Structure formats: structure tokens, C-alpha cells
Amino acid sequence: MNETIARLMNHRSVRKYTSRPVERERLETIISAAQMASSSSNVQAYTAIAVTDPQLKDKLAGLAGDQPYIRECPVFLVWCADLSRLKAAAERHASDKPSYEGAAENFVVATVDAALASQNAAVAAESLGLGIVYIGGVRNDIAAVSEALNLPDYVYPVFGMCVGYPDPEHGAGIRPRLPLETVLHMNGYSAEQSGRGVQTYDETTVRYISDRTGGRRTAPWSKLMADKLTAPSRLHMKSFLESKGFNKE
């Protein structure tokens, strides 16, 4: 196992940070590393907004479920899928032709681009001694978050990312993942293989969460996922995305 793989295998979410600020040079290095992620047709359809202003972080924290680590982290990155630059390019060079920035395919491309870039950023940050945690809560009140960040049409916040130096007194354990054979299928999908892996993973997660909580929680992963899937969540997303110009075709 080389250094890169060892770092990836030791990833953990960090929700408690020291007061040390993230140096501008390091932030720029992290984003530069993010820019080297693969991008479909080199569209680079994403934007990262670094929020350091305490008042703005406080506002975003309130909109994202009142998670205190958004307020406490030195830098809160909001990763956005961004098709506005592509629309502007089309208007500049092909104003006499219809453009399809609102097509579902371009929405997928931009969302994937943002995810790929952000994961590069996460690995780069951890290599510099920083810690991160992803924040899907920016989609709780996505319209208000977009307004607070002055996002134009064809741009939406995919998720946030807290970045900072981890507090050594608040270390988190590494959460076990699904067995490899559950997610690695050879030459076609095997529902039976996937099912066996979930059964094994249920046993693993019961032990993990029971040990972590002193026996207060014992629900297996599949039960947690069932609870998640049967509870309505962010059903406003479809209408919001359409209002911003996405998924029109």
C-alpha cells in the first residue's frame, strides 16, 4: 500500500476544528488540485465558493440544519454545478444557434464535474494536514442558500465542505464500508451478490454502532437506509432546479 492509497483508506469526516486559519496559499493549492480532476469534454462546469466571513457562515449554517461545524470551520466551501459559463460561451460564439444548457444531460455533467473536483480537493486538503466534512444540508433551503451566495441561473449548490485543521481531541473513527464484493461486480450486475454483501454489512454496522454508542443504537445499515428512503426529503429540489434553468430538455 503506497502513501496515496493509505491516505484514502484512512479518510474520516472531521467536524471539530482548531482556531488556526487555513492559509490562502493552501486554499489555492487545494482548488488548483481540484481543477485537475477529470471533466467531461473539458467543460469544467463547476465553481467553488470559499466562505470565510463569519456572518455569512452563520447564515449558511442556519439554512443547512444549524450544524455548528459550519460556523466553526475556517473555510466553508460551497461546490456548485455551473452551466452559466457554458451558456455565455454559446452566446458569444454561436448566438444564431439554439443552445442546450438546460438539458438533463448537461445537468448530470455539471453535477458530476463538481463531485469529481471536490473529491480531488478533499484528498489534497488531507495531504496538507487539513480535515473536511461534506455538507448536503445546503440543499435544505437551497433557494435561500443560492440567494445568499448570489448564484445566477444555471448554477446550483450541490453540497458544502467544511475545511480546517482537525482538533486532535475530537478524533472520529473510520466508518466501515460495504464489503468490496458488494460494489465490485465483474462483467455484469449481480443482485444476489449485492444482497449477500448487505447482509454481511448489516452485521458489521450493528457491531460498529453498538460499540460507538455504548449499546444505545443497534440498527443495521439496511434498516437505516429503509428509514431514509421512506421519509420524504428535499422534495423541493425538482421545482428549484427547473426555476434555475436546469432539466428543461
pLDDT value of residue 123: 98
Residues 158 and 202 in one domain: no
pLDDT value of residue 249: 83
pLDDT value of residue 24: 98
Residues 195 and 239 in one domain: no
pLDDT value of residue 212: 86
pLDDT value of residue 174: 87
Residue stretches of the chain with pLDDT short of 50:
none
Task: Tell me the three cell numbers of residue 221.
Answer: 445499515
Residues 64 and 164 in one domain: yes
pLDDT value of residue 94: 92
pLDDT value of residue 103: 96
Q: What percent of the chain has pLDDT over 90?
A: 95
Domain count, the chain: 2
d(CA 144, CA 156): 11
Residues 210 and 238 in one domain: no
Task: Give tens-digit pLDDT for 116-140.
Answer: 999 999 999 999 999 999 999 999 9
User: Is 19 contained in some domain?
Assistant: yes
**3 state DSSP class of 53:** coil
From 244, 229, 222, select the one nearest 153 (Cα to Cα): 244
pLDDT value of residue 207: 94
DSSP string, 14-30: ---B-SPPPPHHHHHHH
Residues 201 and 103 in one domain: no
pLDDT value of residue 195: 97
Residues 35 and 147 in one domain: yes
Residues of the domain holding 155: 3-173+233-243
pLDDT value of residue 32: 98
**Nearest 5°: CA angle at 180, between 174 and 184?**
135
Residues 193 and 89 in one domain: no
